[in-house]
Amino acid sequence: MNDAEQFQTDQTIDPQQESILRDALNTFMVQFDRDLEQRYKQHSHDRTLDLINRSIYLMLGLYLLVVVPVTLIVKTPEMAAWRNYGVYPIAVALVGLWSCTRLDWLRPYAIIVMYLALWLSLSGTILGGIRFNSSFPGQVSSFESIYLLIIAFSILRLPPRQTLITAIIAAVFALAISVITALNIHLLLIMLSFSIPLMICTVNGYILDISARRNFANNLLLAHESAQLNRWRAQAEKDANRQQQLNLFMGQIAGNLTPSQLLERVLGYLVQHVGAKIGAAYMLEGNQLIRKASWALSGEAQAREVVPSDEGLLGAALNQRLLIQQHQVPKHYLDLETGQGKSPPGAVLLWPLIQGDHPLGIIEIANFEGFDQEQQTLISELHHPLSFSLQSAQHRQHLLDQSGKTANV
């Protein structure tokens, strides 16, 4: 599936989902049903990954802009140890983000890598804040934690619930490591450097998420309405074209025509407007189908002037009284003339002509590529006027024959 088709698929909603979206826009939190919620999450993750893909080098630059000066200016044993908490974990996280946006085999796992990168970075900075307490490296780690929360919630705008859970897991992991390694934990410092910023960023993340949800719902509704308008316009154009074709066809079969003249005009219309390359028209007389008109028939087909009404493709179609497209036909059946000789048709369309309960005849046409649904629909709509005109032409012909016999007597 290409990008355009994927976009159209992502924008598709049914009437029930349309109602859910309109109801959701009237609520504060803009809550969706399960299916729309999954689509929104996927939309949020795709938006974030696209932003990471376009800004990964900028993030790497900002990372170096913070780390390099601090590393070069402050040269103490604590700062050397700080790198294990505030430099290397973030570096690994950035490399992971870069890899999942550049390596095809890793892209399916990009969302997992994204949350692991956030967890790893926060775990390191929180643990660094605890490890170095209120010293300069500890303050730098605390600021890094706040920066990471701002980036995750406000810049990348990750789904706030999943981001909050990831941040809490990172904090629990850092506290567990601190307890295991017997580090001195200052709860007030953790609250000021992490807990309160986390609450503020979470509230801001939810506010941004509500706005994003409204935009998502409005975009889906606008896309749905636009697609609906396009369908209506396309249908109106089809209806107008079909009516134009019907009017043209009615003009073709108008007048006091004999059955043969009428059927010749019909074949000409089918060749010009339906894509037929070859064809023949038969009338039912007793138990036989008598050919009354033809178009570009080959030698073998030309010899088939009289056909039993209960045999072959024509007889089967006439018996079923349905428009039938046949792709497998007998050898040399309506072969098409080409510059390189004769070629079998791609499809033969069999069109029984029925007026009321009375079969009048049948038309067969063929081409190389077959007849699509729109062409078959058009032929079906031409059936009633043609059957009525053919019956009238037969009646006129019968009266003329009777008048001729009377005059001869």
Residue range 362-389: mean pLDDT, rounded:
93
Q: What is the SS3 assignment for the chain?
A: CCHHHHHHHHCCCCHHHHHHHHHHCCCCCCCCCHHHHHHHHHHHHHHHHHHHHHHHHHHHHHHHHHHHHHHHHCCCHHHHHHHHHHCHHHHHHHHHHHHHHHCHHHHHHHHHHHHHHHHHHHHHHHHHHHHHCCCHHHHHHHHHHHHHHHHHHHHCCCCHHHHHHHHHHHHHHHHHHHHHCCCCCCHHHHHHHHHHHHHHHHHHHHHHHHHHHHHHHHHHHHHHHHHHHHHHHHHHHHHHHHHHHHHHHHHHHCCCCCHHHHHHHHHHHHHHHCCCCEEEEEEEECCEEEEEEEECCCHHHHCCCEEECCCHHHHHHHHHCCCEEECCCCCCCCCEEECCEEECCCEEEEEEEEECCEEEEEEEEEECCCCCHHHHHHHHHHHHHHHHHHHHHHHHHHHHHHHHHHHHC
Q: Is the pLDDT of residue 3 over 50?
A: no
Q: Is the pLDDT of residue 163 over 80?
A: yes
pLDDT of residue 408: 57
**What confidence tens digit (pLDDT) does each residue in 222-270 have?**
998 998 999 999 989 988 988 999 999 999 999 889 999 999 999 999 9
Among 78-82, 179-183, 332-336, the range with the most confident prediction by mean pLDDT is: 179-183
pLDDT of residue 149: 96
- In whole angstroms, give the CA distance from residue 198 to residue 146: 8
Q: Is the pLDDT of residue 154 over 90?
A: yes
pLDDT of residue 11: 65
pLDDT of residue 123: 96
**C-alpha to C-alpha distances, 363 to 94, 255, 278, 326, 335, nearest whole angstrom:** 71, 21, 11, 13, 16
pLDDT of residue 180: 95
**What confidence tens digit (pLDDT) does each residue in 284-302 have?**
999 999 999 999 888 778 8
What backbone torsions phi and psi does residue 20 show, to the nearest 5 degrees? Answer: -65, -40
Pairing of β 336-338 and β 341-343: antiparallel
**What confidence tens digit (pLDDT) does each residue in 37-58 have?**
999 999 999 999 999 999 899 8
Select the more confidently predicted residue: 25 or 201.
Answer: 201
Q: Is the pLDDT of residue 335 over 90?
A: no
pLDDT category of residue 406 using cuts at 50, 70 and 90: low
pLDDT of residue 10: 55
pLDDT category of residue 74 using cuts at 50, 70 and 90: confident
pLDDT category of residue 409 using cuts at 50, 70 and 90: low
Q: Which two tokens stand for residue 368?
A: 């190389």
- In whole angstroms, give the CA distance from residue 224 to residue 110: 29
- What percentage of the chain carries pLDDT values higher than 90? 62
pLDDT of residue 8: 43
- In whole angstroms, give the CA distance from residue 363 to residue 341: 25
pLDDT category of residue 171 using cuts at 50, 70 and 90: very high
Pairing of β 336-338 and β 306-308: unpaired
Residue 284: CB atoms within 10 Å: 17
pLDDT category of residue 1 using cuts at 50, 70 and 90: very low
What average pLDDT does the structure give for the chain? 89
Residue range 274-278: mean pLDDT, rounded:
92
**C-alpha to C-alpha distances, 13 to 6, 16, 199, 229, nearest whole angstrom:** 14, 8, 35, 14
pLDDT of residue 5: 41
Contacts of 268 (CB under 8 A, 6+ apart): 252, 295
Residue range 279-286: mean pLDDT, rounded:
93
Residue range 69-82: mean pLDDT, rounded:
85
- In whole angstroms, give the CA distance from residue 54 to residue 57: 8
- In whole angstroms, give the CA distance from residue 190 to residue 202: 17
pLDDT category of residue 318 using cuts at 50, 70 and 90: very high
**Overall CATH class of domain 255-403:** alpha beta
Global confidence as pTM: 0.63
Q: Is the pLDDT of residue 407 over 70?
A: no
Domain ranges of the chain: 3-228, 255-403
**178 closest CA partner among 213, 128, 106, 217:** 128
